[in-house]
Amino acid sequence: EPPELMAKFDARIDADGRIEPQDWMPDAYRKTLVRQISQHAHSEIVGMLPEGNWISRAPSLKRKAILIAKVQDEGGHGQYLYSAAETLGVSRADLLDALHSGKAKYSSIFNYPTLNWADVGTIGWLVDGAAIMNQVPLCRCSYGPYARAMIRVCKEESFHQRQGYEALLVMMRGTEEQKAMVQDSVNRWWWKCLAMFGPPDADSPHSAQGMRWGIKRVSNDDLRQKFIDATVPQAKVLGITLPDPDLKWNEERGHYDYGQIDWDEFWTTVNGNGPCNKERLSTRVKAHNDGQWVRDAALAHARKQQQRAMK
Ligand code: FAQ
């Protein structure tokens, strides 16, 4: 790498400046961003599936309209993120190939099933809640296009989080069966959401470099702790119990202590063997193949427009 360009890049990072697509950047920085942004894009697109399963079974017209809008937003987030990744010189088609062939990662959380209607509320409250906690610092990421995409994404995620929490509040004011459904749902999702923030800092190979480059602003463990501290009071208002006997306020630390996350189960899921990995991937591949005619038609239309403009 040319030393004078490297020095200029380092100085920009040290001054907390932004790197833009036309700027010189070290190869490893580019690769890290392509890895993270594409994994993030894939998560948004695969993340449409668990909740999408409930659109046809939503309990009212209002809930159905909200859920359709929410799932569409996630599709939109995937589009902004693929566009941000393309500014780094990779093609969307190649990124999608990597997803569809099972080579690319996406968030572990989307490999668990949505078993009851409360899961839709819990995903909004906890999964979108965890996503916001992780994404707000990414609005200050050193790579301009990613940081800017995150601003709009975070605004939409806030709506998602509130609609989920509100749906659960309504259920908690309902019948005993409804309350039990919410508790069952939170029991199943709580620990998986804590794992969304990634492995403990000591076992996170990319953290040190990501922090040095200003891609990561807050560590995996610090974000996890912030999420727990913010969520415990919300669980109290809701009237549910978080499924962790070790969850206790620690006066000295000024944070909640919490129990052990099952990292073996996390890695099993990340490595393709969670409860729904195969189903999610095959649904995604089918959706992509079924949409081929739309992409063909859009390209044919664009070609025609271009020919007309040249006449
Ligand atoms: N799942 O060294 P680190 C959403 C992998 S929110 C699967 O700590 P890093 C919204 C990691 O990739 C979810 N894999 O890595 C929504 C790496 O593997 P690699 C998406 C995970 O990058 C809500 C290895 O472990 N959000 O979609 C996970 O510094 C509701 C070592 O880890 C983002 O992607 C995991 N949970 O930190 C949509 C946010 N955690 O690549 C629909 C952007 C770690 O070496 C419905 N990403 N791994 O093979 C990030 O902030 C970071 O990439 C982290 C991981 C924090 C996820």
Give the max Cα distance, the chain: 75
Of the candidates 125, 135, 120, the one whose C-alpha atom is nearest the C-alpha of residue 80 is 135
pLDDT at 262: 98
What are the residues facing 249 on neighbouring strands? 256
Residue 182: pLDDT band (50, 70, 90) is very high
pLDDT at 305: 97
Q: Atom 36 (ligand 1): residue with closest C-alpha?
A: 196
pLDDT at 1: 83
Q: Probe ligand 1: pick from 32, 36, 122, max atoms within 8 Å of CB?
A: 36
Helix, coil or strand: residue 23: coil
Would you say 67 and 51 are in contact if contact means Cβ atoms under 8 Å apart? yes
How many C-beta atoms lie closer than 10 Å to residue 216's C-beta? 24
Tokens for 183?
A: 């508790």
Residue 43 Cβ inside 6 Å of ligand 1? The answer reads yes
pLDDT at 3: 93
pLDDT tens digits for range 103-125: 999 999 999 999 999 999 999 99
Which amino acid, residue 221?
D
Would you say 184 and 243 are in contact if contact means Cβ atoms under 8 Å apart? no
pLDDT tens digits for range 56-80: 999 999 999 999 999 999 999 999 9
In this predicted structure, the answer to whether residue 84 has a pLDDT above a threshold of 90 is yes
Residue 311: pLDDT band (50, 70, 90) is confident
Residue 207: pLDDT band (50, 70, 90) is very high
Would you say 122 and 183 are in contact if contact means Cβ atoms under 8 Å apart? no
| C-alpha–C-alpha distance, residues 189 and 130, integer Å | 12
| C-alpha–C-alpha distance, residues 109 and 111, integer Å | 6
| C-alpha–C-alpha distance, residues 303 and 311, integer Å | 13
Angle between helices 277-290 and 292-310 (to 10 degrees): 30
In this predicted structure, the answer to whether residue 254 has a pLDDT above a threshold of 90 is yes
Tokens for 159?
A: 């709506």
Tokens for 54?
A: 């409930």
User: What long-range pairs does 259-267 form, CB within 8 A, spacing at least 24?
Assistant: 261/191, 261/194, 261/195, 262/191, 262/195, 263/195, 263/199, 263/200, 263/203, 266/108, 266/195, 266/199
pLDDT at 89: 98
In this predicted structure, the answer to whether residue 82 has a pLDDT above a threshold of 90 is yes
Residue 127 Cα to ligand 1 midpoint, Å, equals 13
pLDDT at 156: 96
Q: Atom 41 (ligand 1): residue with closest C-alpha?
A: 35
pTM score: 0.97
